[in-house]
Amino acid sequence: MNTGLIAIAAGIAILAAIGAGLGLGFASAKASESVARNPEASGKIMSTGLIFATLSEVTAIFAFVIAIILTGKI
């Protein structure tokens, strides 16, 4: 019983990593669209985009590490 629950928890953690990747893709698309519309503001847009990309990647890395730890407990 516990093995199945651990596997389900690892799957949910990987879903969080997939969500972070999708969010990063959408944010990057909107940032590049914003730069195309207003090239003068590209510095502010890119710096803000890098901050949000870093936060998204950290979330994905944490989810991946949790999934690996949980998989090791099976």
How do residues 32-72 score in pLDDT, each as one tens digit? 898 889 888 888 888 888 888 888 888 888 888 888 888 88
Residue 73 DSSP class: T
What are the residue boundaries of the structural domains of the chain, listed by start?
Answer: 2-72
Which one of 1.10.260.40, 1.10.3720.10, 1.10.150.80, 1.20.20.10 gives the CATH number of domain 2-72? 1.20.20.10
Tell whether pTM > 0.75: no
Q: Would you state the structure tokens that stand for residue 53, as one six-digit string?
A: 């990309």
Per-residue pLDDT at 18 = 85
Placement of tokens 């090791």 in the chain: 72
Placement of tokens 């730890």 in the chain: 69
Residue 41 DSSP class: G
Per-residue pLDDT at 28 = 86
Rounded mean pLDDT, 21-31: 87
Q: Would you state the structure tokens that stand for residue 9, as one six-digit string?
A: 């928890």
